[in-house]
Structure 1
Amino acid sequence: MSTDGRHDDGAAGLGVEDGIRTLLRLMPRMVGRAKRVKIPAELESFSLAPRHLSLFAFLLFDGPMTVNALAARLEVAPATVSLMVGELSRQGILRREADESDRRRAIVSISDEHRPAIDGWLACGAGAWRRALEPLTPEQRRMFVDTLEAYERGLDSGEG
């Protein structure tokens, strides 16, 4: 990593080193703010974790779906999702109902009782992402998401 102090202050772009500096400063602040988002009082007793937020987000945005569909979206094994859904169903946060077209499958949804609290919990983050992404073109959004995914892969692989 260069530390020569060169900065690209042009309106047309951002140099790689300046981008890295900016993101190394920005990412911890973003993570810190995200961690400070309070779990709604009516959900505090359920021992919810960050992994539940993604599951709730898919059910809120995409509607009820099967465990396999949730697992595909979350990019985890169906057994992992099945355990989470089972735990959250026992607590009354999620509902499992038989699929009318195939009684062997269960459709998972957020219970009506807890939907407003979960929606409110996710609204702050969703609103911030909406404000950040709406001004971008679809191609720019794709590049942004691809860049975040590449960063995540780089962290997972230990790339320097």
Structure 2
Amino acid sequence: MSSASDTDRLLAEQLLRLTRRLHRIQKRHMEPLGITPAQSRLLRLVSHYEGGQAPRMADLAARLEVVPRAVTTLVDGLEAAGCVRRAPDPANRRVIRIELTDTGRATLRRLRNARTDAAEEILAPLTGDQREVLGGLLNALSDAPADVPAERRC
């Protein structure tokens, strides 16, 4: 009989393998768009930024949990592709905000389709009932408070 720690190790390995597979498949579906996964994440963040105004580079770095230089590199690539533009803040011209362009919005639509195609590829072996069970399990994992010790979760 397998111990709980053996089961947890096996589940951790399975989750890691699935995550890697999902990233590979998503990357393959996104390659024709010329957008990297990191650029895709930045585009989504800019499009959903709260507060109604375009984010500053520092805001993006904080939300992505990366150094500002990494955001600069991502923005440079997306700006060259016409997906975003740098715009001075009207209240403080020294502050630069990142705005989504029409091309960026169209790219986001194509990226959503690519992510959906990748998910369909991953989920293809599952029946509808299995997908519902998996969805419930994934919700339970994603909604669990991060600060609750594992032995207290039930």
- Scaled to the shorter chain, the TM-score interval is 0.5 to 0.7
* Contact 2:38 2:74 (C-alpha < 8 Å) held by counterparts: no
Equivalent residue runs for 1:18-57 within 5 Å: 18-37=7-26, 38-39=29-30, 41=32, 43-44=33-34, 48-57=35-44
Listed one character per residue, the Cα deviations across residues 55-111 of structure 1 (whole Å, up to 9, x for unaligned) are 123112225200010111122222221232123212211111111111111110222
| Displacement after TM superposition at 1:116 (Å) | 3.1
Relative to structure 1, the CA distance from residue 104 to residue 116 in structure 2 (aligned partners, 3 Å threshold; closer, same or farther) is same
Q: What is the CA–CA distance in structure 1 between the aligned matches of 2:48 and 2:31, rounded to whole Å?
A: 19
Q: Does 1:67 align with 2:57?
A: yes
Specify which of 74, 79, 83 is matched with residue 73 of structure 2: 83
Relative to structure 1, the CA distance from residue 21 to residue 134 in structure 2 (aligned partners, 3 Å threshold; closer, same or farther) is closer
Relative to structure 1, the CA distance from residue 139 to residue 29 in structure 2 (aligned partners, 3 Å threshold; closer, same or farther) is closer
Bigger share in strand: 1
| Displacement after TM superposition at 1:54 (Å) | 2.5
* Gap runs ≥5 in structure 1: 8-14, 148-160
Structure with larger RCO (C-alpha < 8 A, sep 6+): 2
TM-score by length of 2: 0.64
Pairwise CA RMSD: 3.3
* Contact 2:89 2:96 (C-alpha < 8 Å) held by counterparts: yes
TM-score by length of 1: 0.62
Q: What is the CA–CA distance in structure 2 between the aligned matches of 1:72 and 1:23, rounded to whole Å?
A: 28
**Matched residues, number:** 126
Matched with 1:143 is 146
Runs of 4+ in 1 over 3 A off after TM superposition: 122-125, 131-139
Q: Does 1:102 align with 2:92?
A: yes
**What percent of counterpart residues are identical?**
20
Listed one character per residue, the Cα deviations across residues 22-61 of structure 1 (whole Å, up to 9, x for unaligned) are 22123212321232121174x23xxx32222321231122
